[in-house]
Amino acid sequence: MNIIQAVNSALRVEMKRDESVIVLGEDVGQFGGVFRATQGLFKEFGPSRVFDTPLAENGIIGSAIGMALHGMRPVPEIQFADFIYPAFDQIVNEAAKMRYRSGGKYTCPMVIRAPCGGGIKGGLYHSQSPEAYFIHTAGLKVVMPSNPYDAKGLLIASIRDDNPVIFLEPKKVYRAARGEVPEDDYTVELGKASRVREGEDITIVTYGATVYDALEAADEAAEEDNISATIIDLRTLLPYDLDAVLDSVKKTGRVIIVHEAPKTCGFGAEISAALSERALLYLQAPILRVTGFDTPFPYTFEEEYLPNKTRIRKALRDTMDF
């Protein structure tokens, strides 16, 4: 499967298993979603469980919160992550606060799916990576898979979780990333990172589409520069698997953090701070971040903006040469 097919499979598995799972959003019904992630669900489960909404993200999320509070498990789709901002208040002030404000009496089990990131020539309004806004919000969980197997397992786990989950899907690799995915039911535990490459010299911490850039850079660095890199795919960003990162950094003594979002106050800054607090005496070089730039996402210079293998290779050499 590719990631689109894996997401579709996860939704189908959960809708068959649990009648309280509802899919809603812009064009998710007969059209099957702009990326076809919900294709076939309307025909199989009908208009009471898969339905289109107006172009009003605050209404989509507000409605989903109401459903969640009344015993349903809605999975609203935001067509592009860039469009999530009209629903920001509903997410961070209502959904995220429900368990706390009710003293644990109420939860808000919902999964907000949103395609994110660049790589498809979408320009400034269809290419943003807003994960840091939501990682900053207590009460949410934030997930970003990089491959089809994880996408299905993490989405099923997210739907079954009793907390609101922001499920970000890197659209650059929606169809480019392919892998073996079981047709049946399985979960990938939230909050656990994955080591996708083992190395001795340096640790690369990343997630989403940049996992593949990191893999390319690490393979080339091993062959041409004799640099051996471990790559950690975080998978879940809130809560994230700090123990896995610490274990690797204590072994390698060097670390690079890679993500598409802008550098200033990006998630890499939090990881860097946590490592400075907990692993400073193990570090043999400064922590480097390879990220998007502190500008709006460009159209013409998209490839220059994204943290590609060339920029990661340079960071690997600079860290090893320190």
Which residue type does 26 have? E
166 and 227, same domain (yes or no): no
Taking the C-alpha atoms of residue 63 and residue 5, their distance in angstroms, rounded to an integer, is 26
141 and 35, same domain (yes or no): yes
103 and 11, same domain (yes or no): yes
- Show pLDDT as tens, one digit a residue, over the chain (322 residues): 999 999 999 999 999 999 999 999 999 999 999 999 999 999 999 999 999 999 999 999 999 999 999 999 999 999 999 999 999 999 999 999 999 999 999 999 999 999 999 999 999 999 999 999 999 999 999 999 999 999 999 999 999 999 999 999 999 999 999 999 999 999 999 999 999 999 999 999 999 999 999 999 999 999 999 999 999 999 999 999 999 999 999 999 999 999 999 999 999 999 999 999 999 999 999 999 999 999 999 999 999 999 999 999 999 999 999 9
pLDDT attached to residue 243: 98
19 and 83, same domain (yes or no): yes
Taking the C-alpha atoms of residue 102 and residue 91, their distance in angstroms, rounded to an integer, is 16
The CATH number of residue 109's host domain is 3.40.50.970
168 and 198, same domain (yes or no): no
In a domain, 50, yes or no: yes
In a domain, 279, yes or no: yes
pTM of the complete model: 0.97
In a domain, 184, yes or no: no
Total count of domains within the chain: 2
Check the CA dihedral 251-253-259-264 and report its sign. positive
In a domain, 181, yes or no: no
pLDDT attached to residue 46: 97
Taking the C-alpha atoms of residue 275 and residue 240, their distance in angstroms, rounded to an integer, is 13
152 and 297, same domain (yes or no): no
Helix (H, G, I), strand (E, B), or coil: what is residue 290?
Answer: strand
Q: Which residue has the tokens 């480097």?
A: 288
β 229-233/111-116 pair status: unpaired
pLDDT attached to residue 320: 97
89 and 200, same domain (yes or no): no
Q: Which range marks the domain in which residue 305 is found? A: 194-321
Under 8 Å between Cβ of 235 and 193: yes
pLDDT attached to residue 204: 98
Catalytic residue list contains 70:
no
The string of DSSP letters for 16-59 reads HH-TTEEEEETT-STT--TTSTTTTHHHHH-TTTEEE--S-HHH
168 and 315, same domain (yes or no): no
β 165-170/229-233 pair status: unpaired
